[in-house]
Amino acid sequence: MSDLEIWIVIIALAIATALTRSSFWLVGHKVTIPPRVQEMLRYAPSCALAAIIAPDLLLDGAGTVHLDLGNARLIAGIASVAWFAWRRRMLETIIFGMLIFTALRLLHLYQ
Amino acid sequence: MSNQDLATHDPAAWRDGFRTGLPTLFGIGAWGVVVGVAMIKSGLTVPQALGMTLLVFAGSAQLAALPLIAANAPVWVIFVTALVINLRFVIFSVLLAPHFASLPWHKRLGLGFVSGDISVALYLQRYPDPAPAPGKVSFLKGLLYPNCAAWQIGSIIGIFLGNAVPTDWGLGFAGTLAIVCILVPMVASKPALCGVLVAAVVSVLAADLPYKLGLLAAVVVGMVTAMIVEETGDKWRARREQDSKATHV
């Protein structure tokens, strides 16, 4: 793509972000959402977070699912859940998880 | 409560929001670094990459756009892909908008634009009820602004480090771990746990769908699952209560 085309793409991306993020904040009070739908939407944030991380934990670069011990991300992810459940400290968990992940990767234990 | 009270800056609530989000900032920043590096490695110039990170502020949409740019995809395809990836924010804004309906439109526009996944989740855990409460706006700002700053600083570092950071360090994994920590307390109820597990499975199975529709499909299917589990649970409980009443009569 040419420089101009890339800038057009960047503007298009900015518009897409603004449309999805802000539109309902602007017009939301004029729209009534049925209570049933509202109830269901309460689960949206947790489902979205799960949908964001699951592919990172389970898929490799080629899009193949890895549910085995060879998957360093999955192992480090599970270890982090355990660590967080025990310690309840987020930053500590992130550092712990990164150390496990890096150790597994460097040692090539599972490859 | 008047609009004035809702919008009044409340330093204590701001600090509370900041402290709540603080542990996630490290993961967010690391994620930003990854996106910054990815932009440079995919061939964007430094001004283009800076422009993208400052104007777009949507990590997953940016990452998805890079291969499409490299493949010379039409602008509308990239636009639609970004829309679909960000559609979950429409759902988030349905949840958040009633809390802040009384703010002036430009404030709502700005707050909406900088709202990220993690901030929204943390905010709703603290304030599930849309009724106006003092300090709400400041608490939200204490979450959103540092989150946005951490992201931008990370991105800019990534852009200037460019090719120096090897991708196999897997820095982006820090972002995933931050989300893991936020998810653990959120799945305390059975419906939420079922919804999250189903959303995870769907997102993996549907990862190859065009326009990244898999993410949206996962959110919708997960939500519906959680709702069904919740309603089935309610019905069972109601029946059990009826039964126990019947036996006691």
pLDDT, tens digit (0-9, with 9 covering 90-100), for A11-59: 999 999 999 999 899 987 788 888 888 889 999 999 999 999 999 999 9
CB-based burial label for B102 (10 Å; 0-12, 13-18, 19+): middle
What's the CA gap between A18 and A110, in Å, rounded? Answer: 43
Average pLDDT, chain B: 90
Tell me how close the Cα of B20 comes to any Cα of chain A, in angstroms: 10
Is pLDDT above 80 for B2? no
Is pLDDT above 90 for A63? no
Is pLDDT above 60 for B141? yes
Neighboring chain B residues of A44 at a CB cutoff of 8 Å: 88, 91-92, 95, 219, 223
Is pLDDT above 70 for B8? yes
Q: Whose CA is closest to B69, among B80, B77, B58, B60? A: B77
Portion 88-147 of B in contact with A at CB < 8 A: 88-98, 100-101, 105, 108-109, 111-113, 115, 117-118, 120-121, 124, 128
Instruction: Give the residue carrying structure tokens 């509308």.
Output: B76
In chain B, what percentage of residues exceed pLDDT 90?
67
Instruction: Give the residue carrying structure tokens 């540092």.
Output: B146
Q: Region B23-48: what's the mean pLDDT?
A: 92
| Rg, chain A, Cα only | 20
Q: Whose CA is closest to B219, among B128, B86, B50? A: B86
Question: What's residue B169's pLDDT?
Answer: 80
Cβ-nearest to B90 among A24, A51, A59: A24
Q: Region B3-23: what's the mean pLDDT?
A: 86
Question: What's residue B132's pLDDT?
Answer: 85
Number of neighbours of residue B174 by Cβ within 10 angstroms: 23
Report ipTM for this prediction. Answer: 0.90
Q: Region B208-230: what's the mean pLDDT?
A: 94
Q: Whose CA is closest to B175, among A34, A97, A3? A: A97
Quote the strand ranges of chain B, DSSP E: none
What's the CA gap between A32 and B94, in Å, rounded? Answer: 10
Q: Which string of DSSP letters, residue by residue, matches B6-25?
A: HHS--HHHHHHHHHHHHHHH
- What are the pLDDT digits (tens) for B68-112? 998 899 999 999 999 999 999 999 999 998 899 889 999 999 999
Q: Do B223 and A41 touch (CB under 8 A)?
A: yes
Q: Cα-flanking dihedrals φ and ψ of residue B170, to 5°?
A: 60, 40
Question: What's residue A109's pLDDT?
Answer: 56
Q: Does B178 touch chain A (CB under 8 A)?
A: yes
Cβ-nearest to A56 among B89, B121, B176: B176
The answer to whether B176 and A53 are in contact (CB under 8 A) is yes
Is pLDDT above 80 for A110? no
Cβ-nearest to A81 among B23, B24, B180: B180
- What are the pLDDT digits (tens) for B174-199? 989 999 999 999 999 999 999 999 99
Q: Do B55 and A14 touch (CB under 8 A)?
A: yes
Tell me the β-bridge partners of A59: A65
CB crowding B21-59: b at 16 or more within 10 Å, else e: bbbbbbbbbbbbbbbbbbbbeeebeeebbbbbbebbbbb
Neighboring chain B residues of A35 at a CB cutoff of 8 Å: none
Question: What's residue A73's pLDDT?
Answer: 94
Question: What's residue B245's pLDDT?
Answer: 76
Neighboring chain A residues of B45 at a CB cutoff of 8 Å: 3
